[in-house]
Amino acid sequence: MIISRKALTKGNTRMRVTSFGVFCLTTVGNLGSDCMKWPIHWEKRTSITHPIKVDWITNPRMTGKIGITLCPGKCQPISWSGGWNRDLETDVARLSGMEVHTIISLIEQKEMEELQVPNLGDVIQKHKISWIHLPIPDTTVPTNEAMENLESLKDAIVNSLLSEEKVVVHCKGGLGRAATIVCMILNWFNVSTKQSIDHIRKVRSPDCVNPKQEEFLLKNCQVNIRANGQ
């Protein structure tokens, strides 16, 4: 998709979209020095062109696997990584074919509406996959309520991962919230926070776990490790 070259100014910020698909934010008066550029990919990827992919995390202490992926079936016309026009049935059927036992969804109900997957839980359960809804606001850390809910699910999740079962965690893009929760789950298996973050970034993406989430994990998960005697 080709976009004509133009610039919009709002306050002290100039926003520029070039014909090369680069969205540029600059501070007026410092053009050229404070310019941050990200490529925008305009093609819409589908469940056929890009079958849903799970990045699996294994650990010697568990016989099962825990994986991270994006939101199944999401429709997002424009994003930094590219547009999505996925099909929920196709994605969940593929996850079922991978013998996934449990899916943990971290997106809020309003995000389900925005991503056009309001029936996400129903479709997952229709495919005989256990569904856990643990909503956390986008880009943030788990709320106290989410922490309490996760703790209440600890035995069930741990038992799954000790029984050769596969658990998949997703948020919208499978980077921040999903990686954060997987780090917390790995912590239950005495994996240090730093080891978890480093491993997930290597397996999934260097963009996993934003600075706020990393600070949260380092502050809140080390206690569990000490309590477990490591």
Q: What tens digit of pLDDT does each residue of 104-148 get?
A: 999 999 999 999 999 999 999 999 999 999 999 999 999 999 999
- Which residues, including other chains, have CB under 8 Å from residue 211's CB and lie 6 or more apart? none
- Which helix or strand (DSSP H or E) is residue 17 part of? strand 13-17
**For the chain, what is the mean pLDDT?**
82
208, two tokens: 């996993």
**Cα–Cα distance between 19 and 24 in angstroms, integer?**
12
**Cα–Cα distance between 65 and 102 in angstroms, integer?**
11
Q: How confident is the model at residue 174 (pLDDT cuts 50, 70, 90)?
A: very high
Give me the domain span that covers residue 33.
6-39
For residues 44 and 53, is the Cβ–Cβ distance under 8 A? no
Residue 23 phi/psi, 5-degree rounding, is: -100, 120
Cα 183 to its chain centre, rounded Å, is 12
| 84 and 21 share one domain | no
| 29 and 124 share one domain | no
Q: Is residue 177 pLDDT above 70, yes or no?
A: yes
**Cα–Cα distance between 86 and 80 in angstroms, integer?**
16
**Cα–Cα distance between 81 and 60 in angstroms, integer?**
33
What's the total number of domains in the chain?
A: 2
| 52 and 109 share one domain | yes
In a domain, 34, yes or no: yes
Amino acid of residue 170: H
| 170 and 212 share one domain | yes
**Cα–Cα distance between 195 and 135 in angstroms, integer?**
25
| 19 and 104 share one domain | no
Q: What is the pLDDT of residues 58-82, one digit of tens each?
A: 899 999 999 999 999 999 887 766 7
In a domain, 1, yes or no: no
| 27 and 113 share one domain | no
| 35 and 126 share one domain | no
Residue reference for tokens 């005697």: 229
Q: Which of 125, 122, 99, 97 lies closest to 112 in space, CA to CA? A: 122
State how beta strands 166-170 and 6-10 pair. unpaired
Q: Which of 47, 159, 60, 57 lies closest to 101 in space, CA to CA? A: 159
Residue 188 phi/psi, 5-degree rounding, is: -65, -20
Entry pTM:
0.78
Mean pLDDT confidence for 207-223: 88
| 137 and 165 share one domain | yes
Where is average pLDDT lowest: 37-51, 168-182, 194-208?
37-51
| 113 and 11 share one domain | no
Residue 10 phi/psi, 5-degree rounding, is: -135, 115
| 186 and 155 share one domain | yes
| 34 and 52 share one domain | no
| 81 and 118 share one domain | yes
Q: Is 99 helix (H, G, I), strand (E, B) or coil?
A: coil
User: H helices of 81-192, where?
Assistant: 88-97, 109-114, 120-126, 144-152, 154-161, 177-188
Q: What is the pLDDT of residue 77?
A: 83
